Amino acid sequence: MQKEHQVPIWFFIGLILTAYGVLIFGAGIYGLFHPPERIALSNLHAGIWWGALLLVLGITYSVKFRPSKTAPRPAPEDKSNKKSAS
Amino acid sequence: MNLSPFLAVTGGGSSRLLTMSPVDLLIIIIYFLVVLAIGFYLKKFASTGEDFFMAGRKMTAWVAGLSFISANLSSLETMGWSAMAYQYGMLGAHAYLIGAIPAILFLAVVMMPFYYICRTHSVPGYLKLRYGEASRSLAGISFSFMTVLVCGVNMFAMATVLRLILGWNMHFSIWVSSVTVAIYVSLGGLLSAVFNEVLQFFLIWLGTLLVPILGLYEAGGWTKMIATINAAHPGQNFTSLWANMGSANNNPMGMHWTGMVFGLGLAVSFGYWCTDFLQVQRVMAAKSLRSAQNGTIIGAVLKMCVPLIVTLPGLLGLAILTQKAGITLMPEYQAQATGGHSYNQVLPLLMARYLGPGLLGLGVSAMIAGFMSGMAGNVSAFATVWTYDVYRPLINKKASDAHYVSMGRWCSIIGVLIAIVTAYGAMLFSNILAYLQVLVLLFIVPLFATVILGMLWKQATPAGGFWGFLIGILASFFMFFYVHWFPGYYLPFMEKDIRDLPALAQKIQMAKEPVSQFVVAQMPPDTRKLLDQYVVSEKAGSGPVSLWGRIEEAIKEPNPEVLALRSGIVNAMNAAETNTLYSAERFSAVSLTPEQLALARQKLDGDDLARFNRSLLEKAYPGELARMRRLEATQLNPVHAEQIATSPKAQDMAVNMFSAFWSLLITLGAVIMISLFTEPKPDSEIKDLVYGMAPLPNEGTCAWYAKPTLWAAVVGVILVVVNIIFW
């Protein structure tokens, strides 16, 4: 019995970083208009660029290691076997 | 308590450091959901023993390396070594340089081939092949129990940290994190643990790296940060790795360089990185020997980078928290007694300073991830060693593979439950915590000595291996107890010696008996005022008596006024001990022992007087005060410490390092001596287990840049260069 293809860990990392990137980037944008109190260097808007970095990393990993790309393609002989069997 | 404006982010007078916004909470919830989802997804890939316990031995070098280093990157580690850097400067970075890299490279180049070609499931499994069943059983049983106990300590520490910095309920922290770990490890085994460790590695770095980046920006760069630290601490050296280690008296650790090199760099480091199965299991699961070796070397490179998120924040704490925010950190016991901030809070304090909404959630997720990766590592290693090295050889030899997988799943759950019990035990008995924190150290050094002799010396015999290992463990325990043993010495009262504060406060405040009148007379007005307020507030009189009540009392957020009262009473008791406490009238209502009455007739002074007075106070308040312990895990006996660590100024770290080195020598000596007089195994039985006899597998040719030895040499050179730069 052939084992099911295992989605690589990098894809999960991509998903969570994408979600985190969206949330942190969004919170950073919100902070532009409602600056957080008592946070040092809030004028640097770290949330925006750190969120953007997470987003880029997340999307890169999600796309590069998406299940449809990492799953092994059926070997040609498998196809011929199927045909002959049928 | 005065918090810095940057930290006064909580309302209602709470002392927690951080308050999170909804987006922060959402980020933490997403983390838990993803971790659980990975566990459920991987269950179908963990159906055989090889899958469940060894992750199918199909990890790539990168996954193995990231998991290898992530299992070690617990939050206790990052917070603890940041605190070290705040206290000792760059000396705190040794744990990531000489205290790790040579050992990791040795594991990759020398030891990994043996672990890999004998196809063992565990380090105790190697002992079985090399020395026999007795050695394996000793290693397996002791490792199993220590692993879950240490897991419980981590759990307790995590709950304490989350209560301190987030104000979270400790029951909530313990149960949510442990149930999550139990679910994902019992479903996917090592595979699930490894997947989550890789995920956690990313979170830990991305959640923490912003702190040193923003900190350096605020400090004006590295040079200005160092200048600020040096200006605030004239005559002290916070930026050198070695320059102040020529004498134990010149550095705050009280450690000579030999302790650092031979204790940390040789004994502890090699024991931890080469034979602690929690670590080794990760790279043993690689898909090939070359992947295992390269994964280990990748781990070494990543380990060398950790000071960026650990040591650097510690230094930034000195430059920014102390100099700009006006916060001075203090030892843990002092912080607990006064409600101040301890060294261990340097990293959370910096997070509170720099991380706004969203980023704070990421930082806290990183912290929780760090705790959970350590717990999952312990649980998965426990499941493997218990099933393969205790249950299968000693209890049920002939079960099916599916039965052992089922046992592994149950072990994961039972291991977590034992850890939870340990965590609650640690809440009630603080001494347990001090003992368990060094437990692994006492065990892994003799294990390393036994394993390495078995690998490199074919004359090592089964009897030599077993008895040498046992003697090494016993020697380690002996040294640990010896430095914490106080025969004939005097230990002043500590805050934890007040077993029943409500009852004691009431007795002293009412001052009906002459002893209480004397104690009250030692109190300054502030403490008397606190005592009066405490008794009037009806907190005094009836202390919690049930087990659950005691737990509830132990986990309550400490009230600064109660802490101050506790300290005030302790100070008054200790002041009374140095005076002439005894008089027949004062102790007429206290039944003293014949020995005490005999001592009362003598003229005592110094420690003898103080010890006698302490015993009188213990008699006067038998239910309220703890008796003086001869063994006190939180204190070092300076005379004994000097005998072990060569300096009376030696601190815990120095004593632990020297003890480890002596333990290594004792074990090596014992294995060699016993082996010289006992029968070795025939060559045919050890041919795949000993250097020079084991044919290394030929994995085919590979490009020069994929050769483990090349990268091991490169990492070794970088290590030397870093040490020279920060000499």
**Gap between the Cα atoms of B694 and B22, Å rounded:** 59
**Gap between the Cα atoms of B410 and B502, Å rounded:** 43
Residue to substitute from A5, A29, A44, A50, interface B, most B β-carbons within 10 A: A50
Q: Which of B599, B552, B683, B689 is nearest to B170 (CA)?
A: B552
pLDDT reported for residue B436: 63
Nearest CA in chain A to B3: A38
| Angstroms from A66 CA to nearest CA on chain B | 15
Residue A82, in any domain of the structure: no
| Angstroms from A36 CA to nearest CA on chain B | 7
A30 contacts B357? CB cut-off 8 A: yes
**Gap between the Cα atoms of B107 and B211, Å rounded:** 32
B354 contacts A41? CB cut-off 8 A: yes
Residues of A in contact with B34 (CB under 8 A): 12, 15-16
**Gap between the Cα atoms of B232 and B142, Å rounded:** 47
Is the pLDDT reported for residue A61 higher than 90?
A: yes
Chain A and chain B share a number of CB contacts under 8 A equal to: 94
Mean pLDDT of chain B: 83
Per-residue pLDDT of B578-607, as tens digits, reads 778 888 888 888 888 888 888 888 888 777
Is the pLDDT reported for residue B479 higher than 70?
A: yes
B31 contacts A16? CB cut-off 8 A: yes
**Gap between the Cα atoms of B452 and B207, Å rounded:** 38
Please indicate if any CB of chain A lies within 8 Å of the CB of B33.
Answer: no
Give the mean model confidence (pLDDT) for residues B685-712: 78
Q: How confident is the model at residue B441 (pLDDT cuts 50, 70, 90)?
A: confident
Per-residue pLDDT of B307-347, as tens digits, reads 999 999 999 998 888 777 778 887 776 776 666 788 888 88
Give the mean model confidence (pLDDT) for residues B288-292: 86
Q: Which of B308, B262, B256, B253 is nearest to B82 (CA)?
A: B308
A9 contacts B199? CB cut-off 8 A: yes
Which of A9, A23, A50 is closest, CB to CB, to B27?
A: A23
Q: How many CB atoms lie within 10 A of CB B69?
A: 27
**Gap between the Cα atoms of B239 and B559, Å rounded:** 37
| Angstroms from B97 CA to nearest CA on chain A | 29
Boundaries of domain holding A18: 9-69
Give the mean model confidence (pLDDT) for residues B3-10: 31
Residue A3, in any domain of the structure: no
- B200-239 residues touching A, CB cutoff 8 A: 202-203, 206, 210, 214, 217-218
Residues with Cβ within 8 Å of B726's Cβ and at least 6 positions away in sequence, in order, are B90, B93, B239, B240, B241
Residue to substitute from B57, B202, B217, B321, interface A, most A β-carbons within 10 A: B202
Residues of B in contact with A50 (CB under 8 A): 206, 210, 359
Residues A47/B358, Cβ–Cβ less than 8 Å? yes
B9 contacts A4? CB cut-off 8 A: no
Which of A38, A40, A50 is closest, CB to CB, to B218?
A: A40
- State the complex-level ipTM: 0.84
Structure-token pair, residue B433: 């915590």
> How many structural domains is chain A composed of?
1
Give the angle B238-B244-B247 at the CA atoms, nearest 5°: 145
Nearest CA in chain A to B8: A38
Please indicate if any CB of chain B lies within 8 Å of the CB of A24.
Answer: yes
Q: Which of B141, B233, B165 is nearest to B9 (CA)?
A: B165
Please indicate if any CB of chain B lies within 8 Å of the CB of A14.
Answer: no
pLDDT reported for residue B376: 85
Tell me, letter by letter, the H, E, C secondary structure of B357-372. Answer: CCHHHHHHHHHHHHHH
Residues of B in contact with A51 (CB under 8 A): 358
| Angstroms from B73 CA to nearest CA on chain A | 18
Residues of B in contact with A47 (CB under 8 A): 356-359
Give the mean model confidence (pLDDT) for residues B546-566: 71
Residue A76, in any domain of the structure: no
A3 contacts B23? CB cut-off 8 A: no
| Angstroms from B24 CA to nearest CA on chain A | 9
Q: In 3-state terms, chain B is what percent helix, strand and coil (to 5)?
A: 70, 0, 30
Residue A79, in any domain of the structure: no
Please indicate if any CB of chain A lies within 8 Å of the CB of B353.
Answer: yes
A24 contacts B359? CB cut-off 8 A: yes
For B607, the 3-state DSSP assignment is helix
Residue A81, in any domain of the structure: no
Residue to substitute from B40, B208, B350, B362, interface A, most A β-carbons within 10 A: B362
B34 contacts A27? CB cut-off 8 A: no
Residues of A in contact with B48 (CB under 8 A): none
Residue A18, in any domain of the structure: yes
**Gap between the Cα atoms of B481 and B25, Å rounded:** 44
Residues with Cβ within 8 Å of B451's Cβ and at least 6 positions away in sequence, in order, are B111, B123, B126, B127, B130, B274, B275
The domains found in chain B, sorted by start residue, are: 54-447+696-713 (1.20.1730.10), 495-620 (no CATH)
Residues with Cβ within 8 Å of B132's Cβ and at least 6 positions away in sequence, in order, are B462, B465, B466
Please indicate if any CB of chain B lies within 8 Å of the CB of A67.
Answer: no
pLDDT reported for residue B21: 87
Residue A75, in any domain of the structure: no
Per-residue pLDDT of A6-53, as tens digits, reads 888 899 999 999 999 999 999 999 988 888 878 888 888 899 999 999
Please indicate if any CB of chain B lies within 8 Å of the CB of A74.
Answer: no
Nearest CA in chain A to B20: A36
Residues of B in contact with A12 (CB under 8 A): 34, 38, 195, 199
For A2, the 3-state DSSP assignment is coil
Nearest CA in chain B to A44: B214
pLDDT reported for residue B555: 63
Q: What percent of chain B has pLDDT over 90?
A: 18
Residue A51, in any domain of the structure: yes
Q: Which of B401, B423, B414, B405 is nearest to B190 (CA)?
A: B405
Per-residue pLDDT of B357-379, as tens digits, reads 899 999 888 888 888 888 888 88
Per-residue pLDDT of B18-71, as tens digits, reads 778 889 999 999 999 999 999 899 888 888 888 888 877 888 889 989 988 888
B45 contacts A46? CB cut-off 8 A: no
B214 contacts A17? CB cut-off 8 A: no
When comparing pLDDT for B650 and B188, which is higher? Answer: B188
CA distances from B634 to B260, B353, B477, B630 (A): 22, 32, 15, 12
Q: What percent of chain B has pLDDT over 70?
A: 92
Is the pLDDT reported for residue B434 higher than 70?
A: no
